[in-house]
Amino acid sequence: MPAPETHTGLVRRARKIDRMLAETYPDARCELDFDNPFQLLVVTVLSAQTTDRRVNAVRPTLFAAYPTPAAMAAADRAHLEQIVGPLGFFRAKTESLLKLSAALVERYDGQVPPRLVDLVTLPGVGRKTANVVLGDAFGVPGITVDTHFGRLARRFGWTEETDPVKVEHAIGALFPKRDWVMLNHHLIWHGRRRCHAKKPACGACPIARLCPSYGEGPTDPVAAAALVKTQGPA
Ligand code: SF4
């Protein structure tokens, strides 16, 4: 029986996995389009229960009509509902955008605050959304524990925690802060393209040798290759 992995061994293995994922996905980045922090905040809120590509498709119309928090806070509700309609849950999403924009205007002078403690006080903004905005719009290191990140961190044997905040702290302890933002993207890209929730493509996985969950999906190279996606969900 192999000896249990030491903490140092875990840190080395985790960082090696991240390096290999960086080589595998050299284009990894936020798959939501945005031009400024306000846009990223809004599209991240809109991305709940839908795909990034659908959100990207409505983004030009949305921000052409309502480019600032002040403009969006004063939006005609029916018009906003019509724009976000293709994303589903359009009434709830419209309500979120109106409340979020109003809070930015009333409490932050129409600016997106660049601090976690402030972002999480905004309507509809949880820790995950706040960390996306901090990392990708402000360059402030944060770990974004979405469904992919949590699943992969557990499959890799990096943590057994299921609570997102505990996962965030456990993984943060394995990597230097400067690596956090890209680590998010590497795991999310791997989760969307190979390490699927159902049927991960283990036989076509570059980190199979370092993954204790190898075999959770097909190990046959041909069967596994058929499961690999070249881009995120449509
Ligand atoms: S070996 Fe399988 S479970 Fe492990 S990371 Fe690769 S696809 Fe995911």
Instruction: Detail the residues annotated as belonging to a binding site for [4Fe-4S] cluster.
Output: 195, 202, 205, 211
Active site residue 27: no
Atom of ligand 1 nearest to the CA of 202: 2
Q: By alpha-carbon position, which residue is closest to atom 2 of ligand 1? A: 202
Q: How far is CA 60 from CA 4, 55, 56, 172, in A?
A: 52, 10, 8, 35
Last residue of a domain, one of 137, 157, 174: 137
Residue 201 CA: nearest ligand 1 atom is 7
Q: Which of 18, 93, 128, 136 is catalytic?
A: 128
Domain count, the chain: 2
28: its two tokens:
């990894």
Summarize the confidence of residues 191-202 as an average pLDDT. Answer: 97
User: How far is ligand 1, taken at its centre, from the CA of residue 197, in Å?
Assistant: 10
Known catalytic residue at 146: yes
Question: Helix 127-138 and helix 180-193: axis angle, to 10°?
Answer: 110
21 and 55 part of one domain? no
Domain membership of residue 212 as a residue range: 7-28+143-225
Rounded to an integer, what distance in angstroms lies between the CA atom of residue 220 and that of residue 146? 29
Confidence of residue 232 (pLDDT cuts 50, 70, 90): confident
Residue 191 φ then ψ, to 5°: -65, -35
Kindly report the average pLDDT of the chain as a whole number: 96
Tell me what pLDDT residue 106 has: 98
pLDDT tens digits along 76-106: 999 999 999 999 999 999 999 999 999 999 9
Q: Is residue 2 part of a domain?
A: no
Rounded to the nearest 5 degrees, what angle is found at the Cα of 114, between the Cα atoms of 109 and 117?
95
Ligand 1 in contact with 155 (CB < 6 A)?
Answer: yes
Q: For position 120, which CATH number holds?
A: 1.10.340.30
Structure-token pair, residue 67: 């480019």
CATH of the domain at 183: 1.10.1670.10
Sign (positive/negative) of CA torsion 138, 139, 144, 146? positive
Residue labelled with tokens 């283990």 = 202
Q: Which of 33, 99, 118, 146 is catalytic?
A: 146
Give the pLDDT mean for 113-138: 95
The Cα 180–Cα 141 span in angstroms is 6
- Exposure string for 92-127, b = 16+ CB within 10 A, e = fewer: ebbbbbbebbbbbbeeeeeebbeeeeebeebebbeb
CA 147 to chain centre: 8
Any domain includes 48: yes
Residue linked to tokens 């839908």: 50
| Pair (147, 128) in one structural domain | no
In a domain, 230, yes or no: no
Band (1; pLDDT cuts 50, 70, 90): low
Residue at 113 is within a domain: yes
- 127 in any annotated domain: yes
Q: Which atom in ligand 1 lies closest to the alpha carbon of residue 217?
A: 2
Domain shared by 104 and 129, yes or no: yes
> Could you tell which of 25, 149, 154, 155 is best to mutate to test the pocket of ligand 1, judged by most ligand atoms within 8 Å of the CB?
155
Could you please report the per-residue DSSP string of 221-234?
HHHHHTT--SS---
Domain shared by 163 and 89, yes or no: no
Same domain for 73 and 11: no
Same domain as 17, residue 79: no
Q: What is the mean pLDDT of residues 117-122?
A: 97
Domain end: 137, 168, 196, which one? 137
Q: Are residues 96 and 16 in the same domain?
A: no
1 CA → ligand 1 middle, Å: 22
Domain end residue (candidates: 137, 157, 178): 137
> 24 and 56 in one domain?
no
Categorize the per-residue pLDDT at 231 as very low, low, confident or very high, splitting at 50, 70 and 90.
Answer: confident
What is the H or E stretch that residue 42 is in? helix 37-46
